[in-house]
Amino acid sequence: MKRIITILVALSAVLSMNAQGRHEIEVLMGGPVSGIFFNEGSSYAKYDYYYSSGNTLKDLYEDVKYRDSFIGMGLVYSYEVKSWLKLGIDATASIEEVTIRKGLAYKEDANNLYSQGVSHFTVMPMARIRYKDGYKAEAYGRIAAGMEFITNWGDEEQKQFAWEVVPFGLCFGKKDLHFIFEMGLGTAYMARFGISYEF
Amino acid sequence: MKRIIILIAAVAAMVSCDKFEDTFGPSTYESSTPLELYMLSIADDGVSVVLSELETALQTDPDGVIGKYFYTNNGLPLTADDAVWTVNREGSLLGTTIKKVTGKNAWKINYNGDFSVEGASFPTAFEITATLADSEIGSHMNWSVEFRGTRKEEDGYTCSFSNAEVPVDYKIIENTKSWGAYGYLLMTVFKDSKQIDRVLMELRGLRSSASITHIK
C-alpha cells in the first residue's frame, strides 16, 4: 500500500506541472554488475576460503554474502517539462540470487554455503536531461533518488535509500518508438536496455 | 542349490567387509578445514618458528659475531643458568626474550609483536616453556612444549590459546626435516570480549591428521 501511495504522489507531482510536453513510457531490463557497490565478495573469494590458511578470525566466524545473479525489470514514466528536461518516476523490480557463506560460529564444514533469493522493488522520482538531439538519436543523462524495498524470501521487508545516476544514455529510433541503452551508477542498476514510447 | 548358497554367502561376506571398511577403516583422504588450518598456523608454524630460533641461539657463541649482533645477551651461553638473550635481528621475532630455566634443560621464551602467518599479521603475545628431550644440542631436536598466548585481530576478534594443560611434543617426522606436533591445542575465540567459540585440536603429527572439536 505504501508503495502505491508513493507512486501516486510522485505521479501527481509530475502531472500537475503546467508544461505542454509529451508523455513517455520506457520498459527496460538490466541490473547491477555483481557486488561492486555492495561490499560483497567475488565468486572467486567464495571458493578461495577453503584452500587458504591465511583466513582471519573474521573470515572464519562472520557470514559473507556473494551475489550470484541479478536481473531487473524497469518501468519508467516521464513527462516533457522542457525540450531538454523530462520529469517522472522510475520503478524497478528485480530478483537477486545470493549465496551466503555461514560463519563457523554456526557450522564447521566445507558445505556451509547456502543460496537465498532476494527481491528488490525500487521507486525513485527521476529527472532525465537531454544532452544532444541528433538525427534519429538522442544522448541523455538521468538522476533519480527514492526508496528501495528489499525482501529476503521468508523474512521481513527492509527499506533503504535508493539512488541512481546515469551519466550516459542513448535513445534512437523512428517517430514515437525508440530503443534505449544506458549505463548507470547506483543501487538499482548499472546497465539497462529496452524500448520507449512517446505519446 | 549348494552353489547358489555358496555364491550368496560369498557376496554377503564381500558386502559386509566393504561396510566394515567404510565404517571403521582408515579414511583414504583427509582434508583440513579453514579453522583447522588457522589453529595449525599457531601450533605448527608459530611455535616451531620459536623453537627454531631457540635452537639457533643455543648453538650461538654469546661473544661471537652472530651472538653480539643478532642477540642482546648477558654474556652467558644459553645453556648456562641465569642466561638471558633477546633477539635483536630484524624479523618477525625481533624483541623475543629467551631465559634459561634454572636447574632444568628448559628455556622460557616470551614473544610480543605482530606475528605474521600466511599473510595475516596481527598483535600476538605468547609465552613458551620448551624442555629439551634430547641430550645433545643440534637442529630439529625433540621438544616438550608448554605455551599460552593471545592474538588480537580486526573488528573486535581476539583469541587465546594454550597447550590445554598437557605439554605438546615436537618431534621430527620420520624421513623429513620438519617437526610434527603431538598433543592438544585449546583455543578460545572472543568477539568484543564475549566468548563465541572454544575449540580443542588434537595434534597427531602430520598437519592433515589434526582434528578439532568445538567445546560449548
Reference B166, options B117, B215, B201, B115; nearest CA is B201
Q: A10: exposed, middle or buried (C-beta count within 10 Å: 0-12, 13-18, 19+)?
A: buried
pLDDT (tens digit per residue) in A60-69: 888 777 666 6
Instruction: Answer yes or no: are the C-beta atoms of A16 and A173 closer than 8 Å.
Output: no
Out of A54, A57, A108, the one facing B153 most closely (by C-beta) is A57
Is the ipTM here above 0.90?
A: no
| Contact residues of B toward A, CB < 8 A | 31-35, 37-38, 40-41, 117-120, 122, 153-155, 157-159, 189, 191, 196-197, 212, 214
- Whether residue A90 has pLDDT greater than 70: yes
Are the CB atoms for B168 and B47 separated by under 8 Å? yes
pLDDT of residue A40: 45
Mean pLDDT of the region A147-169: 86
C-alpha cell at B98: 629467551
**pLDDT at B131 (0 to 100):** 96
Q: What's the whole-number average pLDDT of chain A?
A: 77
Please indicate whether, in this complex, the C-beta atoms of A52 and B118 are within 8 angstroms of each other. yes
CA-nearest residue to A109 within chain B is B33
- The beta-strand segments (E) located in B31-81 are 71-73
Among A173-177, A179-183, B7-11, B124-128, the least confident range: B7-11
Q: From A60, A7, A62, A61, select the one nearest A39 (Cα to Cα).
A: A62
Say what the alpha-carbon torsion angle B87, B88, B93, B98 is, to the nearest 10 degrees.
10
Q: How many domains does chain A have?
A: 1
Spell out, as residue ranges, where chain B has pLDDT lower than 50: 13-30
Least confident range of A34-48, A117-131, A173-187: A34-48
Phi, psi of B71, deg, nearest 5: -135, 150
Q: What is the pLDDT of residues B22-78, one digit of tens each?
A: 333 333 334 567 788 888 888 877 888 899 999 999 999 999 999 999 999 999 999
Considering only the beta carbons, identify the residue of B34, B120, B153 that sits closest to A49. Answer: B34
**What does the block give as the cell for B108?**
622460557
Which residue segment(s) compose the domain that A158 sits in? 2-198
Q: Could you tell me if residue B135 is left (phi over 0), alpha (psi between -120 and 50 degrees) or otherwise beta? A: alpha
Stronger pLDDT, A198 or B41, i.e. the higher one:
A198
Quote the percentage of chain A above a pLDDT of 70: 67
Q: Do A54 and B120 touch (CB under 8 A)?
A: yes
Question: Do the chains contact at B189 and A58, CB–CB below 8 Å?
Answer: no
CATH of the domain at A42: 2.40.160.20
Indicate whether A48 pLDDT > 50: no
Q: Which residue has the higher pLDDT, B152 or A13?
A: B152
Quick check: A59 and B34 CB within 8 A?
yes
